[in-house]
Amino acid sequence: VAGVCAPLTEKFDPLGLGTEEKMEQFTAAEIKHGRCAMIACLGYVLPEWFRFPGCESYESGLGALGSLPAEGWFQLVALIGAHEVLVKPREGGLGAFDFGLGSELLEGQSAEEVERKQTVERNNGRLAMVGFAGLVSQELMF
């Protein structure tokens, strides 16, 4: 099963509370949160080395939340809202997480290789979620 890593051999639900449909929702949410966390880690660290022209006055890290003007917040909310409304899983795809963006790289791969790559993506997302939490807590503490 994609995303399952040693020492576990199947999806982790020790109390048996999740139905198959609920576990699919959790899987899609985990992948989505992992992808967002990977982008967030880049967005958190990248301004330390590079800034677009005109954005030099904005602060880095959590300070950016206070230095972003209202127009920036509007653009951010509009982009996220448009993505939620307009981008849907493709028909006949790999699951609720398959938006058809990059999945053509999996065509022609063996089933074991596709599962391995999905597990790698999920593990990278898990690490990014923990990493972003570490970045934020480190900034808040120090």
Q: What is the pLDDT of residues 54-95, one digit of tens each?
A: 888 888 888 888 888 899 899 999 999 998 888 777 676 666
- State the DSSP string of 26-90: HHHHHHHHHHHHHHHHHHHHGGGT---TT-TTSPSGGGHHHH--HHHHHHHHHHHHHHHHH--PP
Which has more pLDDT, 116 or 103?
116
**Distance between CA atoms of 9 and 41, rounded to whole angstroms?**
29
Mean pLDDT for all residues in the chain: 84
CA angle 115, 118, 121 (to 5 degrees): 150
Rounded to an integer, the average pLDDT of 26-48 is 90
CA angle 52, 32, 94 (to 5 degrees): 120
Q: What is the pLDDT of residues 92-110, one digit of tens each?
A: 666 666 766 666 677 787 8
7, pLDDT greater than 80? no
pLDDT > 90 fraction of the chain, expressed in percent and rounded: 27
pLDDT at position 102 is 64
Which has more pLDDT, 123 or 16?
123
| pLDDT band of 134, cuts 50, 70, 90 | very high
